Amino acid sequence: MSTKEAADHLALIPLKGRGRGLPPLVHPEIAPFWNSVAAGRLSLQRCKACGTLRFPLAPRCHTCLSASYDWEVIDPRGSVNVAVLNPSAPEGMPRIGLEPPWQDVTPYITGAVDMDCGIRLPGRIICDCNQARIPGTRVRGVILETTDGTPVYGFAHTCVVEVDAPA
Amino acid sequence: MAIDACIVGIGTSHAVGLELGQTPLALQFEAFTASLEDAGLDKDLVDGIITARGAPSGVDYDEFVVAAGLNVRWVSQMWSHGRWTASALSQAALAVSAGVADYVAVTNSHVSERGYGRHLTSLDNRLDESFRDGGGPYSGWAIHGSPGAGTGAALVTQQYMDRYGATPADLAAVAVGHRLHAARNPFALLRDDPLTEADYLASPEILGPLRSPDICRMIDGATSLIVTTSDRAAELDVPFVRIAGIEGIRASRDNYVFFSRPGLGSGISAPSDYIAPDTSPVYEMAGVSRADIDALYLYDPFAHMVWMVMERWGFCKEGEAASYVRERGIGLDSPLPINTNGGLLAEGHLFGYGHLIEMTRQLRGTAGDRQVTDATVLQWANAWGDSLILTNQRG
Ligand SMILES: [Zn+2]
Ligand SMILES: [Zn+2]
């Protein structure tokens, strides 16, 4: 499947039919992150005191410990840092190492992406040509489905979406 | 304060496996009583206890104190993880050295969800640290399809292979070496389950580059070690084994991931070159150098951890452990025997305490077919910086 879609450069592109993974545990402090994903944007916290952009999501800045921050939309593009393929169970073998629902989503690629804003984010990486398993491959943020319908972000390679859509 | 601590008693459950049919409490009793018998110690003298594993798949310290009729004056209980092995034994050493307890039992049990745990509904609780907003300590990112330890280890292994060109045959040497050790260990889970490089390469990748032999299985089992001062140890009829050096876990944003040495850029940390320190506090405290280490023991739930630890501690340069292990092995005839009990990979997942018991046996000279010749200084070391030096030499 190759659904190249033009989109504005900050948009997370929704993908269907790529398997339903675990939904996130959304709680009030981090709800803005997931609300932003649902609205098609990746947003991270930027410290209002010292300007540090941060991940993991946290109530305070790891540099200056300030509790004051803004949610800032980031560029959803980045380069693969590491990616692994979690394959389907070999014929006749139990699927060890993965709990539901992930064993039903196999085969899939997951890993981490060095975002252009300088932050590394974990995520599934959708790629039908296997090139995204190579570190440095360009990918962009997408929206993936979960078992309870809460959208989760992920990434996709140019074989699936247009990575560097014009602004 | 100088450390003055000896291991005077060691014990395990009668076996490890998935079909032992015993509760964690029953298994822990087996290990505890075995360690008392080994030390020749009455239970009423045990006045300190450390449990790292705890409920629900193990036994909390208070449950055990009540069940065993102990009366202790010093307790420590850590989180349910194999990460705390060195910290647990270090705490015991510090406690007896400071005199807050005389005889400390480092006692742990564990049952797997596929073992006795299938009778315990409390183990159905899927609350998982990989649900942390930033992911768990293994790079465990439950919502992204890398839940828990296995995929976290797979990601680190992949990073290492991407960066240094290590091969599946390199990784095979780790699992093959552990099986060879296990074949000489009658207690080992996989003692009768030999593995060749060809067997390994014929088995499919199941989590990233990891294959089944790279991943240890959770099992039922228990361990116990008794720690006391050297003066008290001298009153017991046991060979001399001393805890000579301790060093703690390091943690920072750039040293975040459980299954990686610093420098690989795992989890959220930045990649960098890695040069191991020439020496380390654990060696300084023990008055030894890296060259004195007769055998190395490390936490090996996944095979690549051998590479991580050898490089973290400078037994190999950055990127060189994979080919080193393939060429030189980890056996008794190698320059540096590693995990001579078979490790978690082949003896069974005893959270590292099985390794500490093996180290004690080696230093007593009672390791049978797998005895390291003239073993005098052994190191437990992990990729995230915690370490112990055990020796049978007096200070
Ligand atoms: Zn700040
Ligand atoms: Zn692709």
DSSP symbol at B292:
G
d(CA B247, CA B237) in angstroms, rounded, equals: 29
The answer to whether A9 and A165 are in contact (CB under 8 A) is yes
Q: What is the pLDDT along chain B (395 residues), one digit of tens a residue?
A: 789 999 999 999 999 999 999 999 999 999 999 999 999 999 999 999 999 988 888 999 999 999 999 999 999 999 867 789 999 999 999 999 999 999 999 999 999 988 998 888 666 555 567 777 777 777 778 899 988 788 889 999 999 999 999 999 999 999 999 999 999 999 999 999 999 999 999 999 999 999 999 999 889 999 999 999 999 999 999 999 999 999 999 988 887 778 999 999 988 888 999 999 999 999 999 999 999 999 999 999 999 999 999 999 999 999 999 999 999 999 999 999 999 999 999 999 999 999 999 999 999 999 999 999 999 999 999 998 999 999 999 98
Instruction: Give per-residue burial for B115-126: e unless 16+ CB within 10 Å, then b.
Output: bbbeebeebeee
* Radius of gyration for the alpha carbons in chain B, expressed in angstroms and rounded: 20
CA distance B76 to B52: 8
**Cβ contacts (< 8 Å) between A139 and chain B: which residues?**
none
AA letter at A32: P
- Closest chain B C-alpha to A167 CA, distance in angstroms: 28
Partner B contacted by A58 (CB < 8 A): yes
Mutate to test the interface with A, among B123, B138, B206, B211 (most CBs of A within 10 A): B206
How would you class A127 by CB atoms within 10 Å of its CB: exposed for 0-12, middle for 13-18, buried for 19 or more? buried
Continuous segment of H or E residues that includes residue B324: helix B321-328
Contacts of residue B209 in chain A, CB cutoff 8 Å? 84
Structure tokens at B244: 């000579």
Tokens read off for B317: 């340069």
Task: Say which of A62, A102, A135 has its CB closest to residue B253.
Answer: A62
B303 exposure class (CB count in 10 Å sphere: 0-12, 13-18, 19+): buried
Contact between chains at B145 and A90 (C-beta distance less than 8 A)? no
* pTM of the complete model: 0.94
What residues contact A94, with CB distance under 8 A and at least 6 apart?
none
Nearest ligand for residue A50 CA: 1
Contacts of A150 in chain B (CB under 8 A): none
B157 and B304 Cβ atoms separated by less than 8 Å: yes
Chain A residue numbers with beta carbons less than 8 Å from the beta carbon of B159 are 81-82
CB contact under 8 A, A82 and B155: yes
Cβ contact B145–A87 (<8 Å): no
Please give the domain boundaries of chain B with CATH numbers for all domains.
Answer: 6-119+219-242 (3.40.47.10), 133-214+244-391 (3.40.47.10)
Residues whose CB is less than 8 angstroms from the CB of residue A71 and which lie 6 or more positions away in sequence, other chains included? A32, A33, A36, A43, A44, A45, A46
Q: How many CB pairs under 8 A join A and B?
A: 99
How does B229-242 read in b/e, with b if 16+ C-beta sit within 10 Å?
bbebbeebebbbbb
Q: Is A71 on the interface with B (CB under 8 A)?
A: no
- Total residue length of chain A: 167
Q: Which 88-107 residues of chain A touch chain B by CB within 8 A?
A: 89-90, 93, 95-99, 102, 105
